[in-house]
């Protein structure tokens, strides 16, 4: 049985960042990854012409310093997301083309959205994402979901509709599915609602040349044989002497076991809760992982010979309150050697679309793109889907969300070590929770916990 | 490797009822139970004088025919719960003693509770618990949690407080933690809110002589060696040829495997989701088990030499809007050879109380009982706690609840077989969902699915 200082479960950004930090401090590590690849929710794909397309997390914002610095350190480069030209909002059967910050809303609805927006930002300013349960009025904020809060605060149908589309765009979950306190904490952890929703200068500002999966691949290359692929962790046993992590192969055949002084579990909470822990975890930690379901998203990349929408002065950015495939952006390569539209079936739309056949789903997506961009959208040269809910080793994206009552009653257990077990992953981050940047920070934080202990 | 017709995972009421039905039809079965005992959430305990006390589910109502018939078939008997005399409600620092159906509420608050009650019963009448998603307005009912619905419909603080105590009493979860649609479906599945909340003639009408765990024990005795204890199921593999269920021992050491044509998974959804399935389950089924967390309850039985409260004309029934240990009933043996008070720390109170030391928790409980019943309550001869959240093979009681959006988007996956895998358990029942009666019905339904297939 292999013995190392620290075992890391999961070779996504969190786990690899932890392993990298520990290795730099001279610790021996073993990273156990269930998949036959690293990078977790940052899987990289290619269109048939070789154009790289990010099948998972893809954007980095200007104040995501952990991600930006890591990209630079690893010798990677970023390039700006394309966002020149007009956006379009579809609502009530109409197309509204706009070039400002209005989201295409009429004046009355825009004012109402603005009023709610300010109220939300004001409340978010009072929530420390490291301890949302300590905010003034936390218990009351945690009784509301986003839908009931918005509905209680406006009768404007379009304003409600606006939040019912931007919340799935950020959380891949419906407004009713997350606590209003979680919404506030998440906003605050990502600076502001404006920051989360903005392309250039916001959280969707730039992309990594070649794809974000390269960040994980380069870290894994540094770690070499410390990273074990195809190791599905099933049981973590701890006692006074140390910790043993037992795994099997992806096909269920027997794997092996590694022993160490400490372990970092760097996988999404809903998966962390499926591991068997001996002794069993405290109730609060188990109750927590029962209540952080992953979001639902099918991400679709559609490749065209050229970004033809740019010729019409369109940025490619579309939101539609009328359609299922309702958030679209230009995801063409930097040199525009072809045109790529990326779009999302999120939350309820993802769950419904999973019940369609692939052909029906493709027809749904291309039908929406034709509506948005005209008949040329009907004939892509490639169409690539990624259904994150169907992935056994993600079971949803973008990340886990907390429903009503969870932050205030269980939040204390989110990142607190249990004996020799430490928790990492984007969901545990207090800065940029749910983002690649947060994942990196969480891995480093878990590594620092261990280094501080053994000093 | 053992080969049988059907494997059943879980030896609670659901699993054993399924196994019993299949055995009666001539099928060979193997029941794999993780614990070293049967009966799941019906564990039986004893006070130090030998008095049996139900540590889990204990009551049977008059229209729970599946449970009543099974009890009779197995040669067991029921006896009426004690409910003679006055109840007390504690609210705003006052004790209100009453003998009617008023719950001790003042006239104005009572009228308001009554108005909401009628509205809830009316809405519940429109929800078919076999398909709550098909109800008129289901999507809107599923956006609200119980708290936001009640708060939107009354400003009366006491009426809100009333629902904030009766919902945890039924669900061991807070009003904000369940979808209003789930609340309605659950009420309808149990006939009416009045039925759920009433002791005599209601869901708490009677008890089983010797304890409810005897129901499972007698079924297990009939099944003999078909029931395997200490078998912690980890992996279920299905293919064209059949299904293989692999298990380990409770301490994590290697167990064995059984093959069969079909399997019934008769454990709570949050535990069913921790098994590894090969091939992986469809997204909807996995997403569902990510979103049915178990309730939180610590059930406490306190034994006294005699039921001294009866001498004061008290029934032993207390609810308190002011205290954590806030629902208490007389749980003395039928012959009143000693006095037993049973009470509950539910929902938020359970989660908070788990962080106390055993001595602090006992002091909290006995302090409440002294407040309710006077100084004699301070000196019980025995005190027995059962924290269901801490149980590795329950991870909460009374049962799983569905949050906002889950019924309407995932309900279809709750009981639908996935290939050779069938789902049972109280959470899957459309009649008496969450109750012992529902568990029994669910096991029979799963057995009938299999028998119908192989005809």
The answer to whether the CB atoms of A294 and B290 lie below 8 A apart is yes
pLDDT of residue A455: 64
pLDDT of residue B2: 87
How much of chain B, in percent, has pLDDT values that exceed 90? Answer: 98
Shortest Cα distance from A195 to chain B (angstroms)? Answer: 27
Residues 6+ apart with CB under 8 A from B417: B423, B449
Shortest Cα distance from B390 to chain A (angstroms)? Answer: 5
Averaged pLDDT for residues B85-89: 97
How much of chain B, in percent, has pLDDT values that exceed 70? Answer: 100
pLDDT of residue A145: 98
Question: Coil, strand or helix: which one is B382?
Answer: strand
Yes or no: say if A241 and A399 are a contact pair by the CB < 8 Å rule: no
Residue of B nearest to A389 (CA): B283
pLDDT of residue B83: 95
The partner residue sitting opposite B351, judged by closest CB among A284, A351, A355, is A284
pLDDT of residue A2: 87
Tell me how many degrees the CA angle B177-B178-B184 measures, rounded to the nearest 5: 155
| pLDDT tens, position by position, B288-304 | 999 999 999 999 999 99
The answer to whether the CB atoms of B176 and A276 lie below 8 A apart is no
Check whether B363 has a pLDDT greater than 90. Answer: yes
Distances (CA, A) of A67 to A21, A58, A72, B300: 14, 11, 9, 50
Residues 6+ apart with CB under 8 A from B149: B180
Determine the residue among A34, A138, A141, A143 to mutate to test chain B binding: the one whose Cβ has the most chain B Cβ atoms within 10 Å: A143
| pLDDT tens, position by position, B189-203 | 999 999 999 999 999
pLDDT of residue B454: 77
Yes or no: say if A189 and A432 are a contact pair by the CB < 8 Å rule: yes
Residues 6+ apart with CB under 8 A from A3: A258, A259, A260
C-alpha span between B26 and B4 (Å, rounded): 11
Shortest Cα distance from A347 to chain B (angstroms)? Answer: 10
Yes or no: say if A103 and A117 are a contact pair by the CB < 8 Å rule: no
The partner residue sitting opposite A290, judged by closest CB among B143, B270, B348, is B270
Angle between helices A436-453 and A65-73 (to 10 degrees): 80
Q: Which two tokens stand for residue B231?
A: 């078998």
| pLDDT tens, position by position, A205-231 | 999 999 999 999 999 999 999 999 999
pLDDT of residue A128: 98
pLDDT of residue A434: 98
C-alpha span between A435 and A18 (Å, rounded): 16
Residues of B in contact with A255 (CB under 8 A): none
pLDDT of residue A432: 98
- pLDDT in single tens digits along all 455 residues of chain A: 789 999 999 999 999 999 999 999 999 999 999 999 999 999 999 999 999 999 999 999 999 999 999 999 999 999 999 999 999 999 999 999 999 888 999 999 999 999 999 999 999 999 999 999 999 999 999 999 999 999 999 999 999 999 999 999 999 999 999 999 999 999 999 999 999 999 999 999 999 999 999 999 999 999 999 999 999 999 999 999 999 999 999 999 999 999 999 999 999 999 999 999 999 999 999 999 999 999 999 999 999 999 999 999 999 999 999 999 999 999 999 999 999 999 999 999 999 999 999 999 999 999 999 999 999 999 999 999 999 999 999 999 999 999 999 999 999 999 999 999 999 999 999 999 999 999 999 999 999 999 999 76
Phi-psi bin for A48: left (phi > 0), alpha (psi -120 to 50), beta? alpha
Which pLDDT band holds residue B270 (cuts at 50, 70, 90)? very high
Angle between helices B146-153 and B157-171 (to 10 degrees): 160
pLDDT of residue A214: 98
Distances (CA, A) of B317 to A249, B56, B111, B314, B367: 55, 18, 22, 8, 16
| pLDDT tens, position by position, B276-335 | 999 999 999 999 999 999 999 999 999 999 999 999 999 999 999 999 999 999 999 999
Shortest Cα distance from A82 to chain B (angstroms)? Answer: 33
Check whether B265 has a pLDDT greater than 70. Answer: yes
Angle between helices B107-125 and B180-189 (to 10 degrees): 80
C-alpha span between A17 and A223 (Å, rounded): 10
C-alpha span between B86 and A112 (Å, rounded): 53
pLDDT of residue B455: 64
pLDDT of residue B142: 98
| pLDDT tens, position by position, B405-455 | 999 999 999 999 999 999 999 999 999 999 999 999 999 999 999 999 976
């Amino acid at each position: 049985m292999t013995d190392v200082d620290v075992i890391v479960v999961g070779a996504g950004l969190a786990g690899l960042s932890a392993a990298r930090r520990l290795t730099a401090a001279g610790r021996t590590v073993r990273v156990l990854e269930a998949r036959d690849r690293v990078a977790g929710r940052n899987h990289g794909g290619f269109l048939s012409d070789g154009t790289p397309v990010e099948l998972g997390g893809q954007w980095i914002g200007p104040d995501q310093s952990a991600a930006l610095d890591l990209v630079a350190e690893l010798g990677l480069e970023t390039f700006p997301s394309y966002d020149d030209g007009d956006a379009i909002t579809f609502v009530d059967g109409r197309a509204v083309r706009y070039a400002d910050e209005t989201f295409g809303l009429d004046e009355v609805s825009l004012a109402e959205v603005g009023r709610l927006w300010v109220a939300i930002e004001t409340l978010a300013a009072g929530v420390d994402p490291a301890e949302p349960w300590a905010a003034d009025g936390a218990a009351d904020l945690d009784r509301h979901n986003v839908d009931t809060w918005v509905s209680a605060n406006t009768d404007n149908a379009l304003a409600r509709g606006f939040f019912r589309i931007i919340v799935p765009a950020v959380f891949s979950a419906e407004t009713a599915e997350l606590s209003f306190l979680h919404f506030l904490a998440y906003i605050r952890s990502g600076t502001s609602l404006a920051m989360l929703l903005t392309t250039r200068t916001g959280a969707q500002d730039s992309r990594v040349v070649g794809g974000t999966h390269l960040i994980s691949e380069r870290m894994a290359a540094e770690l070499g044989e410390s990273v074990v692929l195809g190791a599905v962790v099933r049981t973590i046993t701890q006692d006074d002497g140390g910790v043993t992590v037992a795994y099997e192969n992806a096909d269920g055949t027997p794997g092996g076991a590694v022993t160490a002084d400490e372990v970092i579990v760097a996988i999404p909470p809903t998966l962390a809760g499926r591991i068997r822990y001996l002794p069993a975890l405290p109730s609060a930690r188990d109750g927590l992982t029962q209540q952080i379901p992953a979001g639902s998203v099918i991400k679709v990349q559609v490749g065209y010979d050229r970004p033809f929408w740019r010729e019409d002065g369109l940025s490619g950015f579309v939101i539609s309150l009328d359609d299922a495939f309702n958030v679209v952006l230009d995801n063409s390569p930097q040199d525009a050697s072809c045109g790529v539209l990326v779009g999302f079936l999120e939350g309820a739309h993802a769950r419904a679309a999973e019940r369609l056949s692939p052909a029906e789903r493709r027809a749904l997506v291309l039908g929406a793109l034709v509506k948005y961009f005209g008949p040329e959208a009907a004939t892509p040269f490639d169409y690539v889907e990624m259904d994150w809910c169907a992935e056994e080793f993600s079971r949803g994206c973008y990340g886990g969300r907390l429903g009503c009552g969870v932050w205030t009653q269980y939040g204390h257990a989110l990142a607190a070590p249990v004996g020799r077990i430490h928790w990492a992953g984007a969901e545990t981050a207090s800065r940029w929770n749910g983002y690649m940047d947060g994942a990196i920070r969480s891995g480093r934080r878990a590594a620092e916990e261990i280094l501080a202990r053994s000093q």
